[in-house]
Amino acid sequence: MTQTISLTAPAKINLSLRILGKRPDGFHELETLMAPIGLADTIEVSHGTGHGITLTCNDPELPTDSNNLCVKAAEAFRVATGLDHGIAITLLKRIPHGAGLGGGSSDAAAVLKGLNELFDEPLVNEELHQIAASLGSDVPFFLTSGPAWCRGRGEILEEASALPKRNLLLIKPPFPVPTAWVYKKYAELKESGKPLTQPEKQFLGDLEIVNDLEAPVFHKYLLLPVMKTWLREKPGVEAAFMTGSGSTMVAVMAPEVTTEQISIIKKGIQTEFGETMWLCETGWAIGDGK
C-alpha cells in the first residue's frame, strides 16, 4: 500500500470575473475565467497513527485544526468513504493567504486528490467534485489542471481555450482583503444605485480582462488603484488588474518584455510602494499537479 502521496497545489488568477446577480441561496452568481499558475504549495498526505487527522504547516499564521480547509477536506473525504483511518497532512505554504490566489482552495483540492489515490481511488471524479463544491466555490476548479470558465457559485466548469504564453508578475501588499467583506461591499454599492467605475478595457489576445470586484476593493484600499495605474504606464506591461477578491495585483508582461525591464519594474514597485510588497515572477502552470 502506498504510504505517502505528494502533490503540488497551484495558485490561480482570475482573468475575467463577472458578478451576474444574487442567488436564492445568498451566494453570488459568477462567471469567471480562472487559470492555474506556477506559484504552488506542496501537499503531502500519508497514513497517520490512530484515527485522527493531523496537519503540519510551515506557516505559523495558519490554523492547523478543524478550521483549516485541508482538515475539512480530509474529514469530508472520510465521511464520504466511511474510512476511519488516521490521516497525516503536511503543507508547505508558498502562496500567501488573503491574496485572491486561491491557495486554501487549491490545498483542499490537493488533499482530496491525494487521499483518493492514497486509498486506491474509492471515489469517482463526480463524487470528488461534489465534496469539493461543498468545501468552497473555488475548490472544484483545482480538481482540474488547466484554465476553465467557472459559473454558478464557481462549481460549474467548462474547459477554456489555451492561453497565450506570458510571464506574470504578482504583487501583494502587506495586508489581506477578506473575501466575505468584498462581496458584501459589492452588493452595497450595487444597491446604492451609484454607478460602478468602468475601467479602461484591457485584453489578453481576444479575451477582455475584467474584475467586477475591483470597484469595492479599490473604494477602500486606495493603494491598489494607484498601483494599477502605475503598472499600466510601464513599458513591457500588457495589462494590470486585481485577481479575485484581492489583494494581489497581476501584471501581465508583453511577449517582447526583457528580463531587464521586469527587474526595473520590480525595483520601481519597492521604491514607489515600499519594500513590504511581496513579489513573485511566474507563468501559467504546467503539468497535472503531481
pLDDT digits (tens, 9 = 90+) for 72-105: 999 999 999 999 889 999 999 999 988 999 999 9
Q: How far apart are CA 132 and CA 84, in angstroms?
A: 20
C-alpha–C-alpha distance, residues 102 and 9, integer Å: 10
Options 138, 172, 212, 228, the catalytic residue: 138
168-282 in CATH: which number?
A: 3.30.70.890
Q: Which of 12, 93, 172, 185 is catalytic?
A: 12
**pLDDT for res 24:** 67
Dihedral sign (CA 179, 184, 186, 189): negative
The answer to whether residue 138 is catalytic is yes
Fold exhibited by the domain 4-159: Ribosomal Protein S5; domain 2 (3.30.230)
For residues 239-258, average pLDDT: 96
Mean pLDDT computed over 59-77: 96
DSSP label at residue 172: E
pLDDT at position 39 is 98
Would you say residue 252 has pLDDT above 80? yes
DSSP for 235-281 reads TTEEEEEE-TTSS-EEEEEPTT--HHHHHHHHHHHHHHH-TT-EEEE
Q: Give pLDDT, residue 288.
A: 46
Q: Give percent above pLDDT 70 in the chain.
A: 94
Stated as kind and residue range, the H or E segment containing 224 is helix 223-232
Contact in structure between 119 and 83 (CB atoms under 8 Å): yes
Domain with CATH 3.30.230.10 in the chain: 4-159
Amino acid 154: pLDDT: 80
Domain with CATH 3.30.70.890 in the chain: 168-282
How far lies 85's CA from each of 10, 119, 154, 174, 179, in Å?
A: 27, 10, 31, 39, 34
- CA-CA distance, 249 to 252, in Å (whole number)? 10
pLDDT at 63 (0 to 100): 94
